[in-house]
Structures are given as structure tokens and as C-alpha cells.
Amino acid sequence: MFHEVTSSKGKTRYIKMKTDTGIKDTYMDVFVKCILKHVKGIRAGSDRYTEVFMSPVWRIKGLNPHQDTPVEILHVILLGFLKYFWCNAISRLNNAQKVELQVWLASFDVTGLGIPPLAGQTLVQYAGSLTGQDFHTILQAAPFVLYNLIPQECYEAFLALSALIPLIWQPCIDNIDEHLAILQVAIDHFLNCTAHWTLQWFNKLKFHIICHLPDHIQCFGPAILFATEGFESYNAIIHDHSIHSNRQAPSWDIAHRMA
């Protein structure tokens, strides 16, 4: 259908193909509307005709966007699955249970974990505004502090995720075939537990993206090598240079301060 639109077949042909096939892609519709608007401008004489509507990036020889863009584990897992589950767990608790959870977190023994004592109130009260480092901490405590506070199917999903994440954050893999086999079993178990909880989670694309991770590890090596956590720390530099900006031209303000 996208090829038909880029070939200037028109909106009517596109709608008819959607009706005939029963396929509806809300993500592609955004780009189709832009293309149809451009085609309409060409016919009206206000826009200049261009043969190719797609970005030249996708015309690079040898580039496969599915294989060459590895899973970004920070946003897919820590700021994805774990954030979804943690916010959902907090939303299920009443005020008394939230206070109990804060106490459990604050009293959690962090000996040997290499992390400071947990700020229970912050992790509960600001569940939707936490960072990747906060979720690294929550991951290690969640199976213990959430016991008997959330439904069993939710708790099982937390356990499956807690078992999966250490397999992903491996800096070195000695036996790639054995590791990928174990990782695939852990991913399947996590998805099964999530489906047993509720199928609504699968409306989020990240639950599909994680299925490609074993192939990317096979191609690029341990997932921690292409994680963006280290690069995210440079956001603090940009933030420091934009504090006194009036937000009218933030890029100019940041560039001026850096110069």
C-alpha cells in the first residue's frame, strides 16, 4: 500500500486497498497523509515533483534497518517493561499499602549490591519520573518488597523480568550458543507471564522488539556494548547549559554557552 501511495495512485486507491485487505496501520497513516498532501500540492502546482518520497538513508546499499539497528535495552527494558510494571504496581496500592512498601524499600538490606540505601518515599511517590539507575535498584528489590502486595500474576511477571535482565546485562559471553539458548527461554517465559497477566501489554511495541534481541547479540555481541546508558549521562551537560535559557531559541543558547 505504501508503494501505491508513493507512486501517486491517490487517496481513493489507498482507502480501497485498506478496505479490501482489512489492514489498518495507524503508524503508517501518519506518513501516508504527509505524502498525499505533497502529491496534492504537486497536482496543484504548489510543490515540485520528486521521484522518491523516502529518506535516502533507506537507499544505502547493504543496510537492513531490522538487523542493523539493535535493541536499545535502556529504553526497551528499564524505562520500558520495568517502568510499566512498577507504575502499574504502585497504582494498585492504597495509601496504607504504599506506606508499607516505602518501609520495605527503606529497610531493604543492600549489603553486597554496591548501591546506597533505597529512598522508599521517592521510589513510590515519583514512580513515573524515575531514571534508569533508579530502576536498576528497583529491579533488585522488587521480588522481595512486592510479595503479597500485588496479584500473583503480576508478581510472576516481575519474577520473570528479574530473571531475564541479568542475562541481558552481561559484559562478557563465554559460550554464545549456550547463552542465547538460555536467553531465548527467559524471554519466552517473560512474555508468557506477561500474557497470563493481561494481553493489553502487547499493544506496546517493545514487547515485540525484545524478540529480536538474541539475533542482535549474535551479530553485535553483548547487549551492554550497544546500550545508551553511558551516553545518556551527557544529557547533564546539555541541561546545565540550558538552565538560564528563555526557551525561545534553546539550541542557540546552548551553543553560545558552550562556545
- Grid cell digits, residue 247: 526557551
Using an 8 Å Cβ cutoff, are 105 and 141 in contact? yes
Using an 8 Å Cβ cutoff, are 217 and 223 in contact? yes
The type of residue at 28 is M
Question: What pLDDT does 95 receive?
Answer: 93
Question: What pLDDT does 193 receive?
Answer: 96
Question: What pLDDT does 19 receive?
Answer: 82
Question: What pLDDT does 165 receive?
Answer: 93
Using an 8 Å Cβ cutoff, are 6 and 54 in contact? yes
Q: Which residues contact 100 (CB under 8 A, 6 or more apart)?
A: 149
Using an 8 Å Cβ cutoff, are 196 and 156 in contact? yes
To 5 degrees, how large is the angle CA 30–CA 36–CA 38? 105
Using an 8 Å Cβ cutoff, are 59 and 51 in contact? no
Nearest Cα neighbor of 32 from 12, 50, 61 is: 12
- Average pLDDT along the chain, 259 residues, taken 10 residues at a time: 62 78 78 74 51 69 82 90 94 93 92 87 91 89 92 94 93 93 96 94 92 92 82 75 74 80
Helix (H, G, I), strand (E, B) or coil at 88: helix
* Residue 136 to residue 255: CA distance in whole angstroms: 33
Using an 8 Å Cβ cutoff, are 207 and 194 in contact? yes
